[in-house]
Amino acid sequence: MSQELTPEQIQQSLQGISVPAQPQIMVDLQMEQYMPDPDLEVIAKLISQDPGLSGALLKIVNSPYYGLSNKIASIQRAVNLLGSRSIINLINAQSIKGEMNDETIVTLNRFWDTAQDVAMTCLTLAKRIGVQAGDEAYALGLFHDCGVPLMLQRFPDYMTVLEQAYANAGPDCRVVDTENQVYNTNHAVVGYYTAKSWRLPEHVTAAIANHHNALAIFSDESSRNSSLKNLLGILKMAEHICASYRVLGNQTEDHEWNSIGPLVLDYVGLSDYDFETLKQTIRDLGTHR
């Protein structure tokens, strides 16, 4: 039986870090909630497309109030636990968090598009390769760049710096190194603290913190960090398949993948040919836009 949360409890739990929700998803959710009998499955599907809403939802479900023995990363399970009344209160709380101007929405579309694409591709890869739970792979894909909109809120020139970071990426320079030089922080660190505030499972937050540190992690050939490597291997393949370097980084070439790709493929046990075939299959499926 789901325990109903009041609007006040939801507002209290949502204090602090907030990643803006996609306007169109909010409209679709508002329409669904006004139906005579709102469909929880439809609501879960809509929420699972949006990092901000999914994070807010998991933060509530993983709070001490619900007393779960293990933190969960499954949006569907979280929706079922909360129930329709609390979900509607959550949607309403998020919808009054302030309007964004058109320019911000256009910029954030780059973030939202890659988040959805990478999440779906992570899920597909997890099923194909079988080394990782699908809901955690999906959650990592959805949340890995959740620091990007927060950096953009804080630093108006952030997207220009991020593009430069992708251009500089290679064996001797991580994407986050360029950000660190300019801001003394980066979207992986901000994303990690955001994911922690959402009470995501620890190995998912660790993967978010390290998602631009893959070269060092996969260069370590010991059996340490296997759960981190499993998650990061799927994420880095998914980012490459979804061309994050083009959508977010505005680059024609994936410099980061060029330096880490062979190590990642070696770890997951795929040849270049296997990966190219898999990449084409996933793109043909329409998982990637």
Distance, CA of 83 to CA of 232 (rounded, Å): 32
Q: Residues 187, 206, 283, CA angle at the centre, nearest 5°? A: 70
- Domain of 121, CATH number, reads 1.10.3210.10
- DSSP bridge partners of 173: 170
Is the pLDDT at 172 greater than 80? The verdict is yes
Least confident of 56-65, 82-91, 147-156, 267-276: 82-91
Q: Rounded mean pLDDT of 118-139?
A: 89
pLDDT at position 93 is 75
Mean pLDDT of 79-94: 82
What digits encode the pLDDT tens for the residues 144-162? 999 999 999 889 999 999 9
Query: CA–CA separation, 167 vs 253, rounded Å?
Result: 9
The pTM of the full predicted model, rounded to 2 decimals, is: 0.86
The answer to whether residues 109 and 213 belong to one domain is: yes
Range list of H helices, the chain: 7-13, 23-33, 40-47, 51-61, 75-95, 102-129, 134-143, 147-154, 158-168, 175-183, 187-197, 202-209, 214-219, 226-241, 244-247, 255-268, 272-285
Q: Is residue 215 part of a domain?
A: yes
Predicted pLDDT at 1:
37
Q: What's the pLDDT band for 15 if we cut at 50, 70, 90?
A: low
Higher pLDDT, 163 or 129: 163
Which of the listed residues 79, 95, 111 is the one where a domain comes to its end? 95
Identify the pLDDT of residue 96: 57
- Would you give the distance in Å from CA 4 to the centre of its chain? 27
DSSP structure string for 51-93: HHHHHHHHHHHTSTTT--SS----HHHHHHHHHHHHHHHHHHH
Assess if residue 28 is contained within a domain.
yes
Q: What is the pLDDT of residues 226-262, one digit of tens each?
A: 889 999 999 999 999 999 999 999 999 999 999 999 9
Higher per-residue confidence, 177 vs 86: 177
Sorting pLDDT into bands at 50, 70 and 90, what band is 115?
very high
Number of domains in the chain: 2
Domain assignment present for 13 = yes
> Across residues 191-201, what is the average pLDDT?
90
Say if 186 falls within a structural domain: yes
pLDDT recorded at residue 237: 97
Residue 281 has pLDDT above 80, yes or no: yes
> Which among 47, 77, 95 is the end of a domain?
95
Q: 6-10, 89-93, 211-215, 254-258: lowest mean pLDDT where?
A: 6-10
Q: What percent of the chain has pLDDT over 70?
A: 91
Q: Is the model's pLDDT at 3 over the cut of 70? A: no
Whether the Cβ atoms of residue 234 and residue 144 lie closer than 8 Å to each other: no
The string of pLDDT tens digits covering residues 20-72 is 888 889 889 888 888 888 888 999 999 999 999 999 899 988 988 888 888 99
Tell which of 95, 127, 150 closes a domain. 95
Domain that holds residue 31: 7-95
**Can you tell me the distance from the alpha carbon of 152 to that of 240, in angstroms, rounded to the nearest whole number?**
23
pLDDT above 90 for 179: yes
pLDDT of residue 2: 46
Both 115 and 204 in one domain: the answer is yes
